[in-house]
Structure 1
């Protein structure tokens, strides 16, 4: 029983560290995707997928896509999200397709 507790604890710690790395990556990628207005934000989360909650804080409709990497290579899925002002959408990619959320790009 103690071994199971240790394994679960180690897995949870790993997920927290991976999530922290993704938040840092989002901040770094935000400057690279300057064409997406700053009023549109992406909030990453990690389960068995690499997911992003995208929020349009702009006063106009926005068309955006999430940018990920897999093994250091850029991956942008074919999923253009059209968000009305104030709208939120959750999107995700399986861990075999993407390992890190980078930022938002226009589509």
Structure 2
């Protein structure tokens, strides 16, 4: 098997669509010089060996993460209060109105 393949050939081999592959490249998930290289004729090629290393490293990282408790950097939000069906609306002065509009 070839080590370096075109985006289209890699799509056939991996199951990713060409669009998904290009999105990973443009978002920096797969970096130039790592999983992605530019051939002397300026074609974008995928390094299959480096891709496999990327998959294995992500898998091993996921296994490490599953052994540790999840710590979200964002605080949990309280659920929004739903209006009670059949309840009367708040007094007119309590409503918020947009600038320039009168309610």
TM-score of the superposition, structure 1-length normalised?
0.22
Whichever structure has more helix as a proportion of its residues is 2
Q: Which has the higher strand share?
A: 1
Compare relative contact order (CA 8 Å, sep 6+) and give the higher one, 1 or 2.
1
Larger Cα-atom Rg: 2
The alignment's TM-score, normalised by the length of structure 2, stands at: 0.23
